[in-house]
Amino acid sequence: MKILVTGGTGYIGSHTVVELQEKGYEVVIVDNLSNSSIEVLDNIAKITGKRPQFEQFDLTEQKRTAEFFAANSDIEAIIHFAAFKAVGESVEKPLMYYRNNLISLMNILQGMIDNRVKNIVFSSSCTVYGQPEKLPVSESSPIQKAWSPYGNTKQMSEEIIQFTSDVNDLQAILLRYFNPIGAHESALIGELPIGVPNCLMPYITQTAIGIREFLRVWGDDYPTPDGTAIRDYIHVVDLAKAHVIAIERMIEKRSNKKVEIFNLGTGNGFSVMEVIKSFERASGVKLNYQIMERRSGDVVEVWSDTEYANKELGWKAEKPLDEMTLSAWKWEEALAKKRD
């Protein structure tokens, strides 16, 4: 059974490709390599023994995308990861974000309709909830006005999928991720930020390995127990597994709803300081950090209500924080070895 994974050489995409292949699915990746490297394909093959089919092009090109779908009409389902995701950059370049994230989605949906591909899993984000009034945040919590064009593209994409499926033979599962961190246990794939990382975990590991001088902790005066902001960090492999379950659910028609939404988190909130402590414990490396002003646009705290995903999807995140931070560290060490 053939699954199209857009953005399959990226961070979450590559881990999902591995899980799909290990369950016997045939995978075709489409990626323009704008934020990933072709070597990821070799590393996936080292883990699974199978190199996925790969096509390099930009999904915003309508004609090219239509040709791809026409030539691959045996695709059973799609997991659509390919998108820009840097919150700050999206504020600087809103049109670049709207153009890339929305046009590629529309081209994919058109390709699905024209070629009778019925199932799509979409990468969404807990950012759609903004700062929720009630915690933990469940799937029925209200969507709040987006704080960034990036977040807005996730909200708009969800709506585009919803309205399109209403009038077409399309089923969708929208997965709202909390904060994915960590790497595959093989340390062959992981997060590969280009330039200076924005996200916490790669910044921590790059500081510990000596690429960055110190971690800036954005604010210690939040109304939280230790004053630093709280997130629901989830191991990327747990997250990847949820995608395989979502695909099986659609293919086996376990639900009669056309569009379903699931939160993907662990249900546990950890502060920035707790993540630092976990990293130090797991790696045995002392981290340099300095407390700074709050980062603009950051929410204070958010973590997931996992009940619906646990019961309805039949999925539960299993890996504890120390395993997440240790796997991120092993990946950073593996990258350093390769540079030497």
Q: Which residues are catalytic?
A: 150
User: Least CB distance from residue 296 to ligand UD1, whole Å?
Assistant: 10
Of the pair 102, 199, the CB lying nearest ligand UD1 is at: 199
250-286 core/surface letters (b: 16 or more CB in 10 A; e: else) = bbeeeeeeebbbbbbbbbbbbbbbbbbbbbeebbebe
Q: What kind and span of H or E run contains 174? A: strand 171-177
Least CB distance to ligand UD1 at residue 127 (A): 3
Positive or negative torsion for Cα 167, 146, 197, 269: negative
Residues for the chain: how many in total?
340
Give the DSSP letter of residue 126: G
State the Cα–Cα distance between residues 159 and 141, nearest whole angstrom. 16
Minimum distance of ligand UD1 from residue 51's CB (angstroms)? 29
3-state secondary structure of 325: helix
In angstroms, what is the minimal distance from the CB of 340 to ligand UD1?
26
**Cα(149)–Cα(129) distance, integer angstroms:** 14
Our CB check for ligand UD1 shows the closer of 66 and 287 to be 287
| Shortest separation between residue 259's beta carbon and ligand UD1, angstroms | 20
223 and 300 Cβ atoms separated by less than 8 Å: yes
Judged by CB, which is closer to ligand UD1: 140, or 290?
Answer: 290
What number of other Cβ atoms are within 10 A of residue 141's Cβ? 18
- On whether the CB atoms of residues 47 and 110 are closer than 8 A, the answer is no
Interacting residues with ligand UD1 (CB under 6 A): 85-87, 125, 127, 151, 179, 198-200, 203, 215-218, 229, 231, 272, 295, 298-299
Q: Which is nearer to ligand UD1, 27 or 204 (CB)?
A: 204
Cα gap 176→153, rounded to integer Å: 13
- What is the C-alpha separation between 217 and 286, in angstroms, rounded? 15
66 vs 299, beta carbon nearer ligand UD1: 299
Nearer residue to ligand UD1 within complex by CB, 36 or 125: 125
Dist CA 311 CA 200 (whole Å)? 30
- Report, in Å, the least distance between residue 184 CB and ligand UD1: 19
